[in-house]
Amino acid sequence: MKRLKSEKKICLLCMEEHVVETVEVIEHDIFKGEEVSFTAKYEYCGVTEDFLETEEMIKANSLAMKDAYRGKLGLLISSDITDIREKYDISQKNLSEVLGWGRATITRYENHQVQDRAHDDVLRKISSDPKWFRDKLYGAKEKDCISESAFLSSLHEANEQYKKKKNQYLIDSIYASYANYEDPIIRGNSNLNLKKVIEMINYLSEKVNSLHKVKLMKMLWYSDIVQFKRQEKSISGLVYNALPMGAVPEGYDQIVLLDGVQFDTVQYGESIGYKFKPSPGFERKELTVEELETIDDIITEVGNLTTDEIVHKMHEEVAYKYTASNSPISFSFAKDVSID
């Protein structure tokens, strides 16, 4: 028994005025066939040596027992559900409406009822996927299930959460696209490693002046295929497609938006280009000494070439000439690459 506080008042157990203590006790109970342990609060009478539950304590202890049950089964506890609502600044009623549940459902889950597994999965999805929650919000707005002010308030919070999750969405998208490439020779006998990709981009942008996107993509390819030529394994695990301007990594549009990749936008006539630069505080942690040596060799060989010159060089490579347009370039051509 743990004492929390003491208060002199009329004790409802002995009906005498004396110091009544509020205490915590570890209880054991059976709920839905499961034995659970939880912390319950009581008032304790030292005269009768007995415990009393106030109406408020009865509710709190019941919820504590059910939360212990939820925790044992791997379900969200009541405070988790409250946290989800607070994250999106949405009321119990409105969250129920957005999810298409009974309008009192969330209230019950936060106070006295244990959610089923299906509803628990939906709540977890909302918590981890603000983009999905935004879609649900728009759906509820179209059906006039929530007010305009409530919609805008929750939408703002969902957008803030979405911004925080942007990088993970990009990573998931890139890895999903790479699930289409199972042939090891297309991957350079390496699994995709985005941490290495980010380090390669930062290292190249640190060492090469005026590194623009087209040139960067070619230097990544040369780094990977030369490393494969030397070690039978590429650095990054990137898959390169033969596009009109030469080798371009699968998912390159998402890759350049990843956290840790920085660039300035530069106006060229009517078009806009990317000029890459090192991220502040950039540190190399993933790339090996041998991989850095290969990248340094690529910088020496092609780092001073203009974009047009490196594209021309790429077009002369056997790997590019003998790969169908828009198709993955096999690392089996590594033996023919013009750089040793």
pLDDT tens-digit series, residues 54-72? 999 999 999 999 999 999 9
Place of tokens 């939820």: 70
Q: Left (φ > 0), alpha (ψ -120 to 50) or beta: where does 62 sit?
A: alpha
Report the alpha-carbon distance of residue 110 to residue 203 in Å, rounded. Answer: 50
CA distances 227 to 55, 214, 224, 249, 294, Å, are 72, 20, 5, 16, 6
Among 123, 88, 87, CA closest to 105: 123
Among 130, 169, 156, CA closest to 257: 169
Per-residue pLDDT of 145-191, as tens digits, reads 999 999 999 999 999 999 888 899 899 999 999 999 999 999 999 99
Mean pLDDT value across residues 289-312: 96
SS3 annotation, 34-69: EEEEEEEEEEEECCCCEEECCHHHHHHHHHHHHHHH
**Confidence class of residue 101 from pLDDT cuts 50, 70 and 90?**
very high
- Assess contact for 167 and 259: CB atoms under 8 A: yes
- Assess contact for 161 and 88: CB atoms under 8 A: yes
Residue 164's pLDDT is: 86
Per-residue pLDDT of 196-216, as tens digits, reads 999 999 999 999 998 999 999
Mean pLDDT value across residues 226-238: 98
**Confidence class of residue 269 from pLDDT cuts 50, 70 and 90?**
low
**Confidence class of residue 271 from pLDDT cuts 50, 70 and 90?**
low
Q: What is the DSSP letter of 212?
A: B
Residue 35: pLDDT over 90: yes
pTM for the structure as a whole: 0.69
State the helix-helix crossing angle for 130-142 and 117-128, rounded to 10 degrees: 110
Residue 274's pLDDT is: 85
Beta strand extents in 236-329 (DSSP E only): 240-243, 246-249, 262-268, 271-277
**Confidence class of residue 225 from pLDDT cuts 50, 70 and 90?**
very high
Residue 268: pLDDT over 90: no
The rounded mean pLDDT for the chain is 94
Residue 305: pLDDT over 80: yes
Mean pLDDT value across residues 81-99: 96
Residue 266: pLDDT over 90: no
**Confidence class of residue 1 from pLDDT cuts 50, 70 and 90?**
confident
Q: Left (φ > 0), alpha (ψ -120 to 50) or beta: where does 6 sit?
A: beta
- Cα 138 to its chain centre, rounded Å, is 22
Per-residue pLDDT of 125-150, as tens digits, reads 999 999 999 999 999 999 999 999 99
Among 226, 207, 218, CA closest to 282: 207
Report the alpha-carbon distance of residue 41 to residue 61 in Å, rounded. Answer: 7
Report the alpha-carbon distance of residue 89 to residue 254 in Å, rounded. Answer: 30
